[in-house]
């Protein structure tokens, strides 16, 4: 059989040949037969898990469509504005869509919010005043928030503005220290920050149900305390969001789950009207708030990214489940484990050595569509107190809904994998990490003799 491509004639071999066999495609990426076979064996056991993930994606897809229809999204909403951005129909409608999806009074969704850390800092700084106290009842916050809070000294931190911080660690089994939380709440406590995902820790991610239980406990003590949830990496993973169980604010980044891989920048704050208004006045200026802020022609990416987000998140979840099972069966400590329920897209794998973390990240980079030829190395990244290695060959720089992995070069030497706009890309990335670990003799090839 012949095929004509770009003016040249090629001979096509039969089924199972170099041209058509799937395993041979993986060979072109340096994946050995034994590693590929091991991956296929793991994959065959995950059909029911993947079906459940697809069911949640379908549910959330319908929620997004319904929110868009209720808010009368039109072609005019995709155009955007320049300058001051007064009367920006698309921007204002998008914020109504987010509020409808999250079942909140209001939302702030802006390209002027540069990242997840910025969104969180904005929510905190706009709703706290000098003399107030911030409480984290779930232990240490993500590294980049340490400087926002002032745990590590930094210009413009909450601490510099006279806002104190208190922390209650989780118990050894990962449960909430309710008595410790009760003791920590005092007259100065104004806002509680609840980090849904694990950050650079190997604790379990918090389910929406658990977050709801914690918020209920706090509100019984002091109903006026603002409960903010760092929702990064968790959107669309479950059928409900933290704002459905009492959160006053849910905060996240558009270059993670809700941007669907298309949003080039941005963040959101969805919640009570007063909290969102405070954030808007802090983002722009007192007296201006949500009335200004041009959308600069990127609204179509925001809308389409949100539309795609449920299925894109599902692909990333499948990649995380695949990674958990791949490495757990090789004896590595993984969080979550291969069978437990998922509440975010992040998969932690503990290697116990810097070499394992570095080899994993270099495998992810080698599987990228963009910058696959680059070799990531640990470096002193701003906002972190130890060297960090990051791998991401992304269409949107730093987008962690795309195939990516990172981790601090510090004990227990765990790597954090996330993303994959499509499951085939996530699958390739995980197999490439495994092959890289085998090639560097960190994992013995004998494991894969099936």
Q: How high is the mean pLDDT in each 10-residue block of the chain (450 residues)?
A: 45 48 94 95 97 98 98 97 97 98 98 97 98 97 93 95 97 96 98 92 91 98 98 98 98 98 98 98 97 96 98 98 97 96 96 97 97 94 84 94 95 96 98 97 77
Burial class (CB in 10 A: 0-12, 13-18, 19+), 217: middle
Same domain for 382 and 432, yes or no, is yes
Same domain for 89 and 50, yes or no, is no
Same domain for 404 and 427, yes or no, is yes
Segments forming the whole domain that contains residue 43 = 31-57+307-448
**C-beta atoms surrounding 361 within 10 Å:** 28
Same domain for 319 and 281, yes or no, is no
Final residue in a domain of this structure, among 276, 297, 318:
297
CA 361, 151, 333, 348 torsion: positive or negative? negative
Q: Rounded to the nearest 10 degrees, what angle do helices 299-328 and 47-70 cross at?
A: 160
Same domain for 227 and 344, yes or no, is no
Which pTM was predicted?
0.93
Final residue in a domain of this structure, among 297, 324, 340:
297
Q: Is residue 123 part of a domain?
A: yes
Q: Is residue 17 part of a domain?
A: no
Same domain for 425 and 276, yes or no, is no
Q: Is residue 65 part of a domain?
A: no
Is 222 strand, coil or helix?
coil
Choose among 114, 113, 65: nearest CA to 308: 65
Same domain for 427 and 336, yes or no, is yes
Q: What is the pLDDT of residue 202?
A: 77
Choose among 343, 340, 345: nearest CA to 256: 345
Total of domains in the chain: 2
Same domain for 180 and 134, yes or no, is yes
Same domain for 205 and 279, yes or no, is yes
What CATH number has the domain bearing residue 241? 3.40.640.10
Same domain for 399 and 355, yes or no, is yes
Helix H segments across 167-298?
178-184, 208-221, 273-283
What CATH number has the domain bearing residue 352? 3.90.1150.60
Q: What is the CA 87 to chain-centroid distance, rounded?
A: 31
Q: Is residue 26 part of a domain?
A: no
Q: What is the pLDDT of residue 11?
A: 43
Q: Are 400 and 392 in contact (CB under 8 A)?
A: yes
Q: What is the pLDDT of residue 207?
A: 97
């Amino acid at each position: 059989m012949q095929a004509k491509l770009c003016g040249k004639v090629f001979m096509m071999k039969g089924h199972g040949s170099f041209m058509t066999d799937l395993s041979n495609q993986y060979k072109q990426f340096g994946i050995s037969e034994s590693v590929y076979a091991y991956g296929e064996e793991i994959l065959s056991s995950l059909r029911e898990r993947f079906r459940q993930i697809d069911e949640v994606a379908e549910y959330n897809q319908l929620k997004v469509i319904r929110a868009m229809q209720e808010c009368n999204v039109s072609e005019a909403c995709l155009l955007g504005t320049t300058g001051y951005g007064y009367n920006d129909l698309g921007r204002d409608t998008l914020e109504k869509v987010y509020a409808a999806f999250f079942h909140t009074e209001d939302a702030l969704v802006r390209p002027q919010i540069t990242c997840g850390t910025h969104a969180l800092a904005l929510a905190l700084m706009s709703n706290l005043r000098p003399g107030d106290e911030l409480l984290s009842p779930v232990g240490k916050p993500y590294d980049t928030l340490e400087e926002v809070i002032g745990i590590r000294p930094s210009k413009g931190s909450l601490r510099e503005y006279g806002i104190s911080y208190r922390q209650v660690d989780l118990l050894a089994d990962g449960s909430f220290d309710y008595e410790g939380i009760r003791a920590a709440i005092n007259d100065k406590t104004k806002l509680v920050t609840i980090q849904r995902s694990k950050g650079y820790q190997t604790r379990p991610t918090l389910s929406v149900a658990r977050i709801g239980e914690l918020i209920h406990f706090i509100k019984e003590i002091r109903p006026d305390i603002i409960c903010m949830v760092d929702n990064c990496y968790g959107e669309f993973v479950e059928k409900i969001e933290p704002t459905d169980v009492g959160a006053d604010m849910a905060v996240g980044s558009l270059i993670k789950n809700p941007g669907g891989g298309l949003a080039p920048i941005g963040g959101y704050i969805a919640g009570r009207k007063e909290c969102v208004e405070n954030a808007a006045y802090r983002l722009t200026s007192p007296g201006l708030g949500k009335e200004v802020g041009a959308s600069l022609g990127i609204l179509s990416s925001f809308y389409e990214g949100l539309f795609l987000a449920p299925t894109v998140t599902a692909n990333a979840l499948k990649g995380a489940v695949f990674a958990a099972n791949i490495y757990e069966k090789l004896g590595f400590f993984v969080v979550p484990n291969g069978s437990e329920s998922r509440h975010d897209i992040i998969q932690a794998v503990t290697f116990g050595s810097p070499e394992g973390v570095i080899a994993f990240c270099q495998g992810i980079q080698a599987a990228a569509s963009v910058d696959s030829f680059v070799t990531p190395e640990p470096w002193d990244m701003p906002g972190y107190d130890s060297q960090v290695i990051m791998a991401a060959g992304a269409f949107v720089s730093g987008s962690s809904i795309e195939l990516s992995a990172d981790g601090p070069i510090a004990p227990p030497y765990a790597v954090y994998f996330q993303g994959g706009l499509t499951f085939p890309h996530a699958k390739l990335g995980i197999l490439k990490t495994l092959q890289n670990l085998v090639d560097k003799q960190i994992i013995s090839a004998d494991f894969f003799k099936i």
